[in-house]
Chain A
Amino acid sequence: MKDPLLPHLVEMQSWQQESELVFTFQVAPPEEYGSFRAGQFNMLYLPGMGESAISISGDPADRNHLTHTVRAVGNVTRALHGLRPPARIGLRGPFGRGWPLAAAEGRELLLMAGGIGLAPLRPVLFQALAAPERYQRVTLLLGARSPEEILYSEQLLRWKSDAGLQFLATVDVASAAWRGDVGVITDLVQRAAINPQQTVAMVCGPEIMLRFCARRLRELGVASDAIHVSLERHMQCGTGFCGHCQLGPYFLCKDGPVFAYPAVEPYLMTQEF
Chain B
Amino acid sequence: MLMQRWTPRDLQALIDGLRAEGVRVLGPRVGDAAILYDEIETLPIGCGDEQAPGHYRLTARHDQSRFGYNLGPSTWKQFLFPPEEAIFRVQDGEFISCREQPDKMAFFGVRACELAAISIQDRVFIGDFADPGYASRRENLLLIAVNCSQASGNCFCASTGDGPAVGVGADLILTELRPEDPYYLVEAQTEAGQLMMSAIGGPAAATGEIDARDEVLAATRLQMQREFATEGIAEALYSALDHPHWDVVAERCLACGNCTQVCPTCFCSSTREHVNPVGLGVTHMRRWESCFAADHSYLSGGVVRPSVKSRYRQWLTHKLAGWELQFGVSGCTGCGRCISWCPVGIDLTEEVAEIRRPL
Interface residues of A (CB under 8 A from B): 1-9, 45, 47-51, 71, 73-74, 88, 90, 232-234, 236-237, 239-244, 246, 248-251, 254, 266-267, 270-273
Contact = CB atoms under 8 A, between A and B. Distances in A.
Contacts of A250: 326
26 contacts: A6-B97, A8-B95, A9-B95, A45-B284, A47-B273, A50-B271, A50-B284, A236-B271, A237-B269, A237-B271, A240-B124, A241-B131, A242-B269, A243-B268, A243-B269, A244-B297, A246-B322, A248-B322, A254-B128, A266-B238, A267-B241, A270-B242, A272-B307, A273-B241, A273-B304, A273-B314
Is chain B's interface secondary structure helix, strand, loop, or mixed overall? mixed
A267 B128 CA distance: 24
B279 interface: no
A47 B324 CA distance: 37
Given A250-B326, A254-B128, 16 more contacts: A3-B87, A6-B87, A50-B272, A73-B300, A237-B271, A239-B128, A240-B124, A240-B127, A241-B124, A241-B267, A246-B314, A246-B322, A251-B326, A254-B129, A270-B242, A272-B307
A45 B297 CA distance: 20
B282 to A, nearest CB: 5
B322 A5 contact: no
B231 interface: no
B132 to A, nearest CB: 4
B184 to A, nearest CB: 37
Contact of A233 (B95, B267, B289, B297): B297
B77 interface: no
Contact of A234 (B88, B132, B286, B298): B298
Nearest to B94: A9
Interface string B9-48: 0000000000000000000000000000000000000000
A245 B132 CA distance: 21
Given A244-B297, A246-B322, A266-B238, A3 B272 contact: no
Contacts of B275: 48
A12 to B, nearest CB: 14
B252 interface: no
A29 to B, nearest CB: 16
Contacts of A71: 300
A10 B257 CA distance: 38
A272 B268 contact: no
A232 B223 CA distance: 47
B304 A241 contact: no
Interface in B305-326: 305-307, 309-310, 313-314, 317-318, 321-322, 324-326
Given A47-B273, A241-B124, A9 B93 contact: yes
A48 B243 CA distance: 43
A249 B321 contact: yes
B210 interface: no
B313 A242 contact: no
Contacts of A244: 268, 270, 289, 296-297
A41 B234 CA distance: 30
Contacts of A242: 268-271, 286, 289
A272 B310 contact: yes
B206 interface: no
B313 A273 contact: yes
A190 B185 CA distance: 76
Contacts of B314: 246, 273
B89 to A, nearest CB: 9
B125 interface: yes
B74 interface: no
Contact of A51 (B135, B271, B304, B305): B271
B325 A249 contact: yes
Nearest to B132: A1
B301 interface: yes
B160 interface: no
Given A3-B97, A4-B129, A272-B305, A48 B242 contact: no
B323 to A, nearest CB: 8
B229 interface: no
Nearest to B290: A243
A107 B131 CA distance: 41
Interface string B104-116: 0000000000000
Nearest to A77: B300
B273 A6 contact: no
Nearest to B234: A249
The listed residue with most B CB atoms (<10 A of its CB), out of A2, A4, A74, A244, is A244
B298 A243 contact: no
Contacts of B269: 236-237, 241-243
B267 A243 contact: yes
B192 interface: no
Contacts of B300: 71, 73-74, 232
B132 A3 contact: yes
Interface in B154-209: none
B299 interface: yes
B322 A48 contact: no
B130 interface: yes
B87 A270 contact: no
